[in-house]
Structure 1
Amino acid sequence: MAFHNFLLLSLIAAYASAATDGKLSPNYYSSTCPKALSIIQAGVAAAIKKETRMGASLLRLHFHDCFVNGCDASVLLDDNATFIGEKTAAPNNNSIRGFNVIDDIKAKVEKACPGVVSCADVVALAARDSAVYLGGPFWNVGLGRRDSLTASRALANISIPPPTSNLSALITSFSAQGLSFKDLVALSGSHTIGLARCTSFRGHIYNDSNIDPSYAKSLQRICPRSGKDNVLAPLDLRTPTRFDNLYYKNLLERKGLLHSDQELFNGNSADSLVRRYESNPSKFFRDFASAMVKMSNIKPLTGRQGEVRKNCRKVN
């Protein structure tokens, strides 16, 4: 009996140290909320069935969360009388979306296991499940993140690279998060799905020379020099609702929608990786999955840091 108690205490201590040393585990909820992953997966599938674009939006939400003080669900916090969050920062305002989907999924998870699963983990899993649902690669999501108690609008304004970024600015931005040049080119492949607003690609279609002229003209017809800021165009003109490697084929043909996209194939150091991903979809999938694991591990709150929010929009 004494040995059994000792073993039990050892296991508890080992679990506690794993939770506090910043290491995440795919099995984190296996005993505390075994249904969590299937609830989240079902919620993501339902949301994408309702609106295909939502898959790209949920993937992007994770990116915009992780690039500001780490993957801590800070991006989900609403402004209130005494607090200004990240939602109204320039890269996010009228741009990131999917908050209601996260709310709905979180409510179902809370019903199954109250106060157990963090909003940050819901966002990380929703990003993975979105990519997989649309035909992309699977990766194991480390879990055990906790939710932040605050957010930083100022940091969101400078940490998230805008669509006007050149290659050196992109490299600097990703490097600041501990992400490599290869991670940058692979993660940019998430633009194989989703839509962008006219205001995001206007400069590229009117001012840049590194764009196919007929492609630029087709976009100019829907996105004038002024006005119609919210008109949408697909980031991948070929298969905008399927996660594949055709984003890179577009770049080779100078049909990247954003200035920052086409910067990856512009007679520079990224060209060879773009060519490799265009010719080898499985290589792209492997590198994308690996880069997503790295990104989702940016400065997570673990152990007793932060909290597990009951409502993702506000602290407990």
Structure 2
Amino acid sequence: MLFSLIFLCTTISSSMASLQLGFYQQTCPLAESIVRLTVTEAVAVDPGLAPALLRMHFHDCFVRGCDGSVLLESTPTNPSERESPANKGSLRGFEVIDITKANLEWQCPQTVSCADILAFAARDAVLLTGGIEYALPSGRRDGRVSSAPEVVKNLPSPVFDAEKLAQNFASKGFTRREMVTLSGAHSFGVSHCSSFVNRLYSFNATHAQDPSMDPSLAARLRSMCPGRAGGPNPTVPFVNRFPHKLDNKYYRNLKKMKGLLTSDQTLLSSQSTAGIVWRHAKHHHKWTDEFAAAMVKLGSVGVLTGDEGEVRKNCGFVN
């Protein structure tokens, strides 16, 4: 076990070292500016795109690493990651990446990878909505494989408890503290009712609803989310107040038993993570610093660099 952890940490460190700040300074000096301008314009029209782009980056990095595989479309013989139940109908913002890629192809043909575009877009979304700025190394290459069955095997489930979450994040090289820190991304964006409806109806033999959920929140959610299987599956904000702002209100909500998902509220109910929640709820600026560092680390998970992979001409298809 110790050897596995040492090997995993060494692999992540070498991935970080293979990426570079200002990677496109010589080959496409306007690359990061083009991404930021495109994302800024898109988010100004639809603020919900900011959390969507961050979520897409997370879903990309946790499956095969940050290689842009989540952007690939399916082929007749292979359903891609986009077709997984965990992604289909919930991931959005692909058009922002496509527009950005088209702008960059016009400026610097086949130079900037789709994986880097997605990482830059997530960073810019964080800046626009949370004022959190961080320098992001780049040089990622695009993968050529995307498989729907791999998604559920790698992404954390909304019904995970703290221990299962910790195991999932540890498999990608993250500590418990980094796991709790990145979970703060649920201070903005939305979730489908299907991800938490189990907490609202017939929770167990003793409780009709999850007792760890604030009763007033549960009542409001029941008015929005039908309990019958196969019914409508609308979305609701993770945090009802200021749902488009990224900040530490997520942790303050957990203290009020207002976490939306099981995997949210478990962070306060577990002794191994509760202290981190309380500290993040109290110290906003410390959380933002840790969140920025964790986002840089997220962007280094399983990257392809050098001669590995390719730089796609179109983010939805391999060359």
TM normalised by structure 2 equals 0.90
Structure 1 runs (4+) greater than 3 angstroms displaced: 19-22
Question: Is the CA contact 2:78–2:147 (under 8 Å) kept in the aligned structure 1?
Answer: no
Matched, 1:176 2:178: no
The code of the aligned residue for 1:237 comes to N
The alignment yields a C-alpha RMSD, in angstroms, of: 1.5
Greater Cα radius of gyration, structure 1 or 2: 1
2:111 is equivalent to residue 108 of structure 1: no
Cα deviation, residue 126, structure 1? 0.3
SS of equivalent to 1:196: strand
Q: Deviations over 1:260-296 (max 9, x none)?
A: 1111111422111111011100111011111111111
Tell me how far 1:236 sits from its aligned partner: 1.3
Q: Is the 8 A contact 2:15 2:303 kept in 1?
A: no
How far, CA to CA, are the matches of 2:48 and 2:239 in structure 1? Answer: 12
Is 1:194 the counterpart of 2:189 in the alignment?
Answer: yes
Measured in 2, the distance between the counterparts of 1:261 and 1:228 equals: 24
Q: How does 1:41-60 map to 2 (within 5 A)?
A: 41-60=36-55
In the aligned structure 2, how far is the partner of 1:103 from the partner of 1:275?
A: 40
Q: How does 1:37-186 map to 2 (within 5 A)?
A: 37-186=32-181
Unpaired segments of 5 or more residues in structure 1? 1-18
TM-score, with structure 1 as normaliser: 0.91
Q: 2:299 matched to which residue of 1?
A: 296
Residues 162 and 270, structure 2, Cα contact 8 Å, conserved in 1: no
State the shift of 1:154 in Å. 2.2
Partner of 1:274: 277
Aligned amino acid, residue 39 of structure 1: I
Q: Deviations over 1:96-116 (max 9, x none)?
A: 111111101111111110000
1:275 and 1:84, CA in 2 relative to 1: closer, same or farther beyond 3 A?
same
Aligned partner letter, 2:219 = K
**Superposed CA offset, 1:40-80 (max 9, x none):** 00111111111111000000000000001110000111001
**Which residue of the partner structure matches residue 217 of structure 2?**
215
Q: Secondary structure at the match of 1:289?
A: helix
1:233 is paired with a residue whose SS is: strand
For residues 212-245 of structure 1, the C-alpha deviation after alignment (integer angstroms, 9 at most, x for no partner) is: 0111001101112125543111111222111111
Unaligned runs of 5+ in 2: 1-13, 204-209
User: 1:265 is aligned with what amino acid?
Assistant: L
**In structure 1, C-alpha distance between the alignment counterparts of 2:110 and 2:74, rounded to whole Å:** 22
Of 198-207 and 290-299, the range deviating more from structure 2 = 198-207
Q: Counterpart of 1:264?
A: 267
Question: What is the alpha-carbon distance in structure 1 between the residues aligned to residue 198 and residue 186 of structure 2?
Answer: 18
How big is the shift at 1:307?
A: 0.3
1:224 lines up with 2:222 in the alignment: no
The 1-side partners of 2:15 and 2:28 are apart by 19
SS at match of 2:87: coil
Letter in 1 for 2:189: G
> Separation in 2 of the partners of 1:36 and 1:245?
31
| Aligned residues of 1:198 and 1:228 also touching (Cα < 8 A) | no
Is the aligned partner of 1:287 residue 2:290? yes
Q: How far, CA to CA, are the matches of 2:79 and 2:213 in structure 1?
A: 38
Structure 2 Cα separation of the partners of residues 260 and 170 of structure 1: 7
In 1, are the aligned partners of 2:15 and 2:301 still within 8 Å (CA)? no
The equivalent of 2:4 in structure 1 is none
* Inter-partner Cα distance in structure 2 for 1:178 and 1:78: 28
Q: Which residue of 2 aligns with 1:9?
A: none
**For residues 267 and 178 of structure 1, what CA distance do their matches in structure 2 show?**
21
Distance 2:182 2:233 in 1: 25
